[in-house]
Amino acid sequence: MSSNSRKVQQCLEKSSAKYVDSAKSDILGALAEFKDLVPDIESFVFPDGTRKTAFRLRGTIPVFYKGVRYNIPISVYLWDTHPYYAPICYVNPTPAMVIRESEHVTKQGRIFLPYLSEWRYPGYDLNGLLQVMAMVFQEKCPVFAKTSSSSTPTVSQQTPYPSTNPSMPTPYPTNPILPFSSQTPYPSTDTLFGSSSINTPYTQPNVPTRTPPPIPAPPTLTGSHSTGTLEPEHIRRSIITALEDKLKMRLRDKMGTSQAEMASIRETHSELQAGQRSIRKMIEELEKQQKFLESYIFAHQDKKAELMRTLEECGGDKSDSQAVDIDNAIDAATPLHRQIFNNYAQDLACDDVIYALGQALKERKISVQEYLRYVRDISRKQFIFRATMQKCRKTAGLPV
């Protein structure tokens, strides 16, 4: 068992998870793709107001914002019923960062996505959630670096979306990414909102000192920008940019939902195929049993027909039928065996008579003297029957 697997198991047990196996499989699948996330536990107040020890994934996820890779810090809190209930996600800015509020991120850093509101396991999982989150943050970065008051932009009027023209290019992060993935810089306020001045990206204090390449100074504002007026070309570009952002956002939501639905459909398809194979096996087994029973039915019908023919042959015509003597219905093969058979029948008859006399005595139908006289006579006859039967058995070579 790997260290990640052991730690996830321990954290799930400490957070009183109800579905440990399913949750563990889901978490390990996400950690395999996002290796900068670390599992641990934290006392967390859930939206319903209850405070519990919750399982938490804390770390960074890679996001490519405007062609540059950034590591966005997040925290994912799991309910004790995970993976059957959507997790709670937050953006965790460092002291040198500011949360950028949007339709997906609140001022407190809470993340809201269609993927979370439509959560349904097993079609939805942590791996898919983090991938959708990275796609959303790719369009709108949720955090940016704080800047000093001296670099605060002073623009008298600006459009809702950054505009572009030959005299004023749209600002993008210009510094190259540092070689440490865990310390990737975050975009600054000027990069996100299009200031007239350019600042270097925010870096963590423990990054080794590295001299960035020279940054060209922004071009001098001329023409309509010096007067703060907007030309029709600028308005057109702003509208086009707004439409592009809107279409990208809708396409991203649709793609995330469609991918989740496709995953659910594929899972259902595999389950249906497994069920189909199981049903086919059951049908084959039932067909074998049906053939086996049909063979027994045919054999029974043949035996029944043969028995009916034998009865008809033995019975003959009803007009000529006579009463069959029961005593002569069963006969022995030899006179010696016939004598054994008759004496054995007489012996059993004597037992029955003695038993009947005993019952009559109990019911006071005969007196004691009569009972003793009858029993003495019958016992004498029974002795003769038994002695004769033993002698015949010795003669026939049968055990006595």
Q: For 98-107, which contacts have Cβ atoms below 8 Å and span 24 or more sequence positions?
A: 98/143, 98/144, 98/145, 98/146, 98/189, 99/142, 99/143, 100/140, 100/141, 100/142, 100/143, 100/144, 100/192, 102/140, 102/142, 103/249, 104/136, 104/140, 104/142, 105/142
Q: Which residues pair with 41 in a beta bridge?
A: 55
Residue 280 counted as domain residue: no
Q: How many CB atoms lie within 10 A of CB 349?
A: 14
User: pLDDT digit string (tens) for 342-396?
Assistant: 999 999 999 999 999 999 999 999 999 999 999 999 999 999 999 999 999 999 8
User: pLDDT digit string (tens) for 108-138?
Assistant: 899 998 888 888 887 888 988 998 888 888 8
Task: Answer yes or no: is pLDDT of 296 > 50.
Answer: yes
Considering 145, 179, 208, which residue would you say is the last residue of a domain? Answer: 145
Residue 89 counted as domain residue: yes
Half-sphere exposure of 277 (CA within 13 A, CB side): 5
Residue that wins the pLDDT comparison between 102 and 328? 102
Residue 34 counted as domain residue: yes
Question: Which of 106, 127, 108, 104 minimizes the C-alpha distance to 117?
Answer: 104
Tell me the torsion sign for CA atoms 60, 63, 68, 73. Answer: negative
Query: pLDDT band at 289, cuts 50/70/90?
Result: very high
Q: How many CB atoms lie within 10 A of CB 271?
A: 10
Residues 6+ apart with CB under 8 A from 230: 157, 159, 224
pLDDT of amino acid 73: 92
Considering 113, 145, 177, which residue would you say is the last residue of a domain? Answer: 145
Considering 121, 145, 169, which residue would you say is the last residue of a domain? Answer: 145
Residue 112 counted as domain residue: yes
State the CATH number of the domain containing residue 82: 3.10.110.10
Q: How far apart are CA 364 and CA 297, in angstroms?
A: 57
pLDDT of amino acid 199: 38
Residue 310 counted as domain residue: no
Task: Answer yes or no: is pLDDT of 312 > 90.
Answer: no
pLDDT of amino acid 229: 52
Domain residue limits at 23: 3-145
pLDDT of amino acid 299: 93
Q: Of 119-133, 220-234, 282-296, give the lowest mean pLDDT range.
A: 220-234
Query: pLDDT band at 245, cuts 50/70/90?
Result: confident
pLDDT of amino acid 64: 85
Domain count, the chain: 2
Residue 279 counted as domain residue: no
pTM of the model: 0.40
Residue 23 counted as domain residue: yes
Residue 364 counted as domain residue: yes
